[in-house]
């Protein structure tokens, strides 16, 4: 019975994991549809075949699957399989079959013909075979585009119907392996999240014993705006050498207001924080963070990286631009270096900035791809050995690894990789960063400045355990912090995700519950972190604690916060749940 259930994708142990698997399918599916001129509309799959020893080969009519999906009716042939599945899972399977994805056809075409998109299609293509068991890469493209052209949207039944082979053969050994692997990894993720929550509680109890009577209700509420007004000033950077023009929004506190909090006064040179956005984001995504920092006396520079921002991705998916290049791994850190160099120069166009900004001690906040950018600037160099090992081939279930493996292209092309570290960067806050492969243990262990990593338990783009928790154990810097948000997604801390633009439309289930809560965490922790480690204002240190995280934590996005976690301690968390298993296996999710 369990084998039959595994065959039909229904081995998830609870509804939360089933929802997670469904969300993964939704995310990947809505990224890989293409227009394929060679599609064969006259030929389509009528039956689904699979071979599963020792039961032999079985086939199910596509009509039976479609009838079950549309009307819930179970034919005699389908009953042999369906009746062996619990009713709750049966209902979820039907819901999955009926789920439709609305995707722009041009977007699909552009993505699947890119090098990154082709890798994703190849990975999914291992699950399906044509009737002759021949290569299925183009067959899958054909089925996806024909289904995507359906006015009602793409769904699984339509993909099967439009597969250019009379019979679709499912590679169930691969499917079951992936399903079992995902189940195992999700269980381990849940264990780690629960253990971090308990570790936070333990640290909080210990802190109360050593730092008695810390009443945060009597201290300044860092979630609220500070005492300074600010002005926003757009500027344009033009790097002639790299032929790269990009916009920057500068948020400048009004220094004439000699009014600060906790006894602080603001005067030049102002501390500077740089914010680096993720793929398909822009200067508005973290504008709320910039404004909040400016209200506390920080100058903030919010860049828009032209090779991977919202405008670039929109043009790319509209067929008006080339795809984002692997060179972005280098260009993004260089954008920030160039900005700091320009502001530090004696050019007349920046004369008004002279003496206003402290450009020798700069903080940086990065989200997702921007998280990688910030860590690279902090001193984490590319891990060549890890990249070659993990990307040849890339069999990871971690979606971010497809992007990280673009570094492999640079190595193959023998691109000269410059030193990306910038000694002016003195503190880093990386939110949902991708780094496990491209930087790895070898790279992250080089960082010597304060680092805060922040991640969400329901992030399927840069998964929490492989991209934030394990990398946290690799950091060797004295001052490091790990903030984890239960039930938060990759987009919980982002703002102004404009679906109307058609740029990587983010469905509500990927944004997650009440992102305003997660954004208050970014506001308060960024103030505490940079006040403590950039300005050396030790009165803010108590905010960087488990006790404070518990004070501001709100359901359903409960906040955990730890300052110490070793690889050995993390390994014990995993061992306690399911026996001995090397923690490195968690890099695959």
Across residues 479-498, what is the average pLDDT? Answer: 90
Whether residue 24 is predicted with pLDDT greater than 60 in this model: the reply is no
Whether residue 388 is predicted with pLDDT greater than 80 in this model: the reply is yes
CA separation for the pair 279, 400 (Å, rounded) = 11
What HEC string does 79-106 produce? HHHHCCCCHHHHHHHHHHHHCCECCCHH
Query: What is the reported pLDDT for 38?
Result: 27
Whether residue 382 is predicted with pLDDT greater than 90 in this model: the reply is yes
Helix (H) or strand (E) holding 303: strand 299-303
Q: Which of 7-11, 43-47, 410-414, 524-528 has the highest mean pLDDT?
A: 524-528
Whether residue 56 is predicted with pLDDT greater than 70 in this model: the reply is no
More confidently predicted of 202 and 454: 454
Least confident of 5-9, 433-437, 478-482, 495-499: 5-9
Domains of the chain, by residue range, sit at: 2-170, 191-587
Whether residue 338 is predicted with pLDDT greater than 60 in this model: the reply is yes
CB 472 within 8 A of CB 565: yes
CA separation for the pair 206, 200 (Å, rounded) = 10
What is the SS3 assignment for 345?
A: coil
CA separation for the pair 361, 178 (Å, rounded) = 46
Across residues 361-368, what is the average pLDDT? Answer: 97
Helix (H) or strand (E) holding 172: helix 172-210
Query: What is the reported pLDDT for 546?
Result: 94
CA separation for the pair 350, 352 (Å, rounded) = 5
Query: What is the reported pLDDT for 116?
Result: 60
Whether residue 386 is predicted with pLDDT greater than 80 in this model: the reply is yes
What HEC string does 452-480 produce? EEEEECCCCCCCHHHHHHHHHHHCCCCCE
Please provide the DSSP assignment of 347-405 as one string.
-GGGGGGTTTEEEEEEEEEEETHHHHHHHHHTT----HHHHHHHHTT---S-HHHHHHT
CA separation for the pair 82, 58 (Å, rounded) = 14
Q: Could you check whether the bond before residue 269 is cis, i.e. omega within 30 degrees of 0?
A: yes
Least confident of 199-213, 429-443, 526-540: 199-213
Considering the chain, what is the average pLDDT of its residues? 79
Across residues 563-586, what is the average pLDDT? Answer: 72
Across residues 378-406, what is the average pLDDT? Answer: 89
State the fold for domain 191-587: Rossmann fold (3.40.50)
Whether residue 2 is predicted with pLDDT greater than 50 in this model: the reply is no
Query: What is the reported pLDDT for 423?
Result: 97
CB 532 within 8 A of CB 538: yes
Least confident of 330-344, 426-440, 560-574: 560-574
CB 336 within 8 A of CB 279: no
pTM: 0.79
Query: What is the reported pLDDT for 156?
Result: 72
pLDDT tens-digit profile of 503-528?
455 556 667 888 999 999 999 999 99
Across residues 561-581, what is the average pLDDT? Answer: 79
Full strand arrangement of the beta sheet holding 56-61 = 56-61, 47-52, 167-170, 128-129
- Give the pLDDT band (50/70/90) at residue 479: very high
Give the rounded percent of residues in the chain with a pLDDT score beyond 70: 70
Cα torsion angle, 74, 76, 78, 81, sign: positive
CA separation for the pair 196, 538 (Å, rounded) = 26
Query: What is the reported pLDDT for 247?
Result: 96
Whether residue 8 is predicted with pLDDT greater than 50 in this model: the reply is no
CA separation for the pair 15, 502 (Å, rounded) = 30
pLDDT tens-digit profile of 282-324?
999 999 999 999 999 999 999 999 988 777 777 666 666 666 7
CA separation for the pair 496, 458 (Å, rounded) = 20
- Give the pLDDT band (50/70/90) at residue 200: very high
- Give the pLDDT band (50/70/90) at residue 175: low
Query: What is the reported pLDDT for 54?
Result: 46
What is the SS3 assignment for 484?
A: strand
Across residues 362-386, what is the average pLDDT? Answer: 96
Whether residue 181 is predicted with pLDDT greater than 90 in this model: the reply is no
Query: What is the reported pLDDT for 269?
Result: 92
What HEC string does 224-291 produce? CCCCCCEEEEEEEEEECCCCEEEEEEEEEECCCCCCCCCCCCCCCCEEEEEEECCCCCCCCCCHHHHH
- Give the pLDDT band (50/70/90) at residue 557: very high
Across residues 230-257, what is the average pLDDT? Answer: 91
């Amino acid at each position: 019975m369990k084998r039959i259930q595994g065959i039909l994708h229904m081995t998830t142990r609870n509804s939360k994991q089933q929802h997670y698997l469904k969300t993964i399918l939704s995310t990947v599916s809505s990224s890989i549809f293409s227009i394929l001129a060679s599609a064969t509309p006259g030929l389509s799959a009528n039956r689904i075949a699979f071979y599963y020893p020792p039961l032999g080969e079985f086939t199910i009519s596509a009509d039976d699957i479609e009838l079950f999906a549309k009307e819930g009716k179970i034919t005699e042939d389908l009953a042999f399989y369906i009746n062996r599945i619990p009713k709750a899972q049966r209902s979820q399977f039907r819901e999955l079959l009926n789920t439709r994805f609305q995707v722009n056809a041009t977007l699909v075409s552009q993505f699947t013909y890119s090098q990154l998109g082709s890798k994703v299609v190849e990975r999914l293509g291992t699950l399906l075979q044509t009737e002759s068991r021949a290569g299925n890469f183009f067959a899958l493209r054909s089925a996806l585009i024909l289904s995507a052209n359906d006015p009602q949207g793409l769904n699984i039944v339509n993909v099967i119907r439009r597969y250019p082979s009379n019979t679709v053969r499912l590679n169930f050994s691969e499917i079951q392996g992936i399903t079992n692997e995902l189940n195992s990894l999700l269980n381990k993720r849940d264990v780690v999240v629960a253990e971090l929550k308990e570790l936070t509680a333990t640290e909080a109890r210990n802190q109360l014993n050593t730092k008695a009577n810390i009443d945060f209700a009597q201290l300044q509420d860092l979630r609220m705006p500070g005492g300074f007004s600010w002005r926003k000033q757009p500027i344009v950077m033009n790097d002639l050498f790299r032929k790269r023009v990009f916009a920057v929004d500068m948020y400048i506190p009004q220094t004439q207001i000699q009014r600060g909090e906790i006894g602080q006064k603001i005067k030049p040179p102002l501390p500077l924080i740089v914010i680096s956005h993720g793929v398909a984001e822009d200067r508005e995504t973290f504008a709320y963070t910039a404004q909040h920092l400016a209200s506390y006396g920080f100058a903030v520079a919010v860049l828009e990286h032209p090779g991977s921002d919202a405008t670039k991705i929109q043009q790319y998916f509209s067929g008006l631009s080339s795809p984002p290049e692997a060179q972005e791994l280098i260009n993004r850190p260089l954008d920030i270096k160039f900005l700091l160099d320009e502001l530090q120069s004696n050019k007349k166009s920046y004369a008004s900035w002279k003496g206003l900004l402290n450009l020798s001690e700069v903080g940086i906040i990065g989200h997702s791809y921007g998280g990688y950018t910030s860590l690279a600037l902090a001193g984490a160099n590319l891990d060549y050995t890890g990249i070659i090992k993990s990307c040849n081939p890339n069999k990871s279930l971690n979606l971010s690894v497809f992007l990280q493996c673009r570094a492999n292209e640079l190595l193959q092309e023998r691109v000269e990789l410059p030193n990306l570290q910038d000694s002016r960067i003195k503190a880093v806050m990386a939110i949902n960063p991708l780094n496990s492969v491209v930087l790895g243990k070898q790279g992250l262990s080089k960082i010597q400045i304060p680092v805060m990593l922040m991640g969400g338990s329901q992030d399927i783009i840069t998964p929490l355990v492989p991209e934030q928790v394990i990398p946290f154990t690799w950091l060797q810097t004295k001052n490091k912090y790990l903030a984890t948000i239960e039930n938060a997604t990759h987009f919980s801390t982002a703002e102004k995700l404009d679906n109307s633009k058609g740029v990587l439309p983010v469905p509500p289930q990927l944004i997650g519950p009440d992102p305003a809560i997660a954004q208050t965490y970014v506001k308060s922790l960024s103030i505490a972190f940079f006040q403590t480690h950039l300005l050396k204002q030790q009165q803010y240190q108590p905010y960087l604690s488990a006790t404070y995280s518990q004070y501001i934590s709100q359901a359903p996005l409960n906040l955990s916060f730890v300052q110490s976690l070793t690889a050995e301690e993390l390994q014990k968390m995993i061992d306690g749940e399911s026996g001995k298993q090397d923690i490195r296996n968690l890099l695959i999710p």
